[in-house]
């Protein structure tokens, strides 16, 4: 990225990362290099890094037992492992039209291959939220095995009422799986309080870890029901041809992304630093300023503007007179602003929002490293583009 450019695509992956993250990856590559669970423990720095990172992730999501956290390569990886590990042929799933393809596509494939039945509950296009009453109604149509909900939409940035949705799902006897890709690092997530049974998230978005990192969590009472769909070496129980049945090895076959995990651990440590706290405070104000500024531009419509909650910084707009991809191209070519346009891997959300016809939405997602000047330049640029289109 050129130094004059402004990066407003943190919902895809955060950039830049804290210096401590780059240092930890570099240090691991140069001075450790060992694989996890495959060396002599007392000498193996790798095991300590993973154990500590696992514990930090468990603390982050309010999970009492760190061994229920498995390291993955992304949220997509974790969501696939959970969906394919849990659902049996003929299972019934209730989910929402807000979901990302990392939930929609595995479900679609399971629908085609294993006769899994999937119901998509639409959200309210004004508030951006799924109504617990609508969710309850969908759960009443027969036995439901799984309710799958993203905690925060990557299109609208709106958090979902997870506690109410989870209560409705549990009343119907369903397991609750949360896609926390856009939530962790931005808003508090407490699996016990929210009534979440399964969770998967990215390490490289709000947590500021390197790409290629993520994690999943599974409540202990579900471990017996989960099948490992990725099988291979775990460095343990090598005498058996069966994969280990206990967490976290259940989901950790094959070598882990150790440099990435070293970076993620450094990011989690940085997360509770004073520098991080100060940046988060400033971030909240900057997101508010961007949201207010965009709302005031003639020809720009902020999606789900009725909801003020934008703690993750994801803001989607449409610009009158433009296909969103065209607007993004001009913002990049003429103003050096890197943002994202299109369906954002969440096509069904655009049916509910009625934004498919204009090429989806233009999504601006500042991050902790975004400055006041970046916000001013972004607002000026969107203003200029909107004025030219009117």
Ligand X SMILES: Cc1ncc(COP(=O)(O)O)c(C=O)c1O
Per-position b or e across 40-61, b if 16+ CB within 10 A of its CB = eeeebbbbebbeebbbbbbebb
Helices 19-31 and 258-271: crossing angle, nearest 10°? 150
156 binds ligand X per the rule CB under 6 A: no
CA angle, residues 238, 240, 244, in degrees to nearest 5: 80
312 binds ligand X per the rule CB under 6 A: no
In the bound state with ligand X, the residue whose beta carbon lies nearer, of 73 and 322, is 73
Tell me the C-alpha distance between 134 and 298, whole Å.
Answer: 34
From 177-185, 187-195, 245-253, 279-287, span contacting ligand X (CB under 6 A)? 177-185
From 74-82, 128-136, 225-233, 240-248, span contacting ligand X (CB under 6 A)? 74-82
Helices 372-389 and 324-335: crossing angle, nearest 10°? 120
Q: List the structure tokens of 8.
A: 């407003």
In the bound state with ligand X, the residue whose beta carbon lies nearer, of 312 and 318, is 312
Tell me the C-alpha distance between 383 and 300, whole Å.
Answer: 8
75 binds ligand X per the rule CB under 6 A: yes
Q: Looking only at residues 113 through 152 of this chain, which bind ligand X when binding is defined by CB under 6 A?
A: 150
Residue that the structure tokens 């993250």 belong to: 21
Among 202, 312, 324, 352, binds ligand X (CB under 6 A): 202
H-type helices in 354-390, by residue range? 372-389
Count of Cβ atoms closer than 10 Å to residue 266 Cβ = 26
Tell me the closest approach of the beta carbon of residue 82 to ligand X, in angstroms: 12
Among 17, 92, 100, 186, binds ligand X (CB under 6 A): 100
Q: List the structure tokens of 211.
A: 């790409």
Tell me the closest approach of the beta carbon of residue 195 to ligand X, in angstroms: 19
252 binds ligand X per the rule CB under 6 A: no
Tell me the closest approach of the beta carbon of residue 210 to ligand X, in angstroms: 11
Tell me the closest approach of the beta carbon of residue 106 to ligand X, in angstroms: 11
In the bound state with ligand X, the residue whose beta carbon lies nearer, of 307 and 383, is 307
Site residues for ligand X per CB under 6 A? 12, 74-76, 100, 102, 150, 154, 179, 181-182, 202, 214
């Amino acid at each position: 990225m050129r130094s004059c450019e402004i990066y407003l695509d943190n919902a895809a992956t955060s950039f830049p990362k804290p210096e401590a993250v780059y240092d930890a990856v570099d240090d691991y590559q140069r001075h450790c290099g060992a694989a996890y669970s495959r060396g002599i423990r007392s000498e193996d720095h790798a095991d300590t890094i993973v154990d500590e990172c696992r514990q930090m992730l468990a603390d982050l999501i309010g999970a009492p037992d760190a061994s229920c956290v498995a390291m993955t390569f992304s949220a997509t990886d974790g969501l696939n492992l959970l969906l394919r590990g849990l659902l049996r042929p003929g299972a019934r799933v209730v989910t929402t039209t807000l979901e990302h393809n990392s939930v929609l596509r595995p479900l679609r494939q399971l629908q085609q291959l294993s006769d899994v039945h999937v119901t998509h509950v639409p959200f309210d296009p004004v508030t951006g939220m799924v109504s617990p009453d609508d969710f309850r109604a969908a759960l009443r149509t027969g036995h439901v095995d799984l309710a799958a909900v993203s905690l925060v939409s990557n299109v609208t940035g709106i958090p979902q009422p997870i506690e109410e949705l989870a209560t409705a799902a549990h009343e119907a006897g369903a397991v609750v799986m949360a896609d926390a890709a856009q939530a962790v690092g931005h808003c508090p997530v407490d699996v016990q309080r929210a009534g979440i049974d399964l969770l998967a998230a990215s390490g490289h978005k709000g947590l500021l870890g390197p790409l290629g990192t993520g994690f999943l969590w599974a409540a202990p009472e579900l471990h017996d029901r989960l099948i490992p769909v990725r099988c291979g070496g775990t460095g343990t129980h090598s005498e058996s041809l069966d994969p280990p049945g206990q967490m976290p090895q259940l989901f950790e076959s094959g070598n882990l992304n150790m440099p990435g995990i070293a970076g993620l651990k450094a990011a989690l440590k940085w997360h509770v630093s004073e520098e991080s706290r100060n940046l988060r405070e400033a971030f909240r104000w900057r997101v508010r300023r961007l949201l207010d500024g965009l709302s005031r531009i003639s020809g720009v419509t902020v999606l789900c503007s009725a909801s003020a909650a934008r703690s993750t910084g994801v803001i989607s707009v449409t610009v009158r007179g433009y296909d969103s991809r065209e607007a993004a191209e001009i913002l990049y070519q003429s103003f050096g602003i890197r943002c994202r346009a299109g369906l954002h891997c969440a096509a069904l959300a655009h049916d509910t929002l009625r934004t498919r016809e204009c090429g989806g939405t233009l999504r601006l997602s500042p991050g902790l490293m975004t400055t006041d000047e970046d916000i001013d330049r972004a607002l000026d640029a969107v203003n200029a583009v909107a004025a030219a289109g009117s």
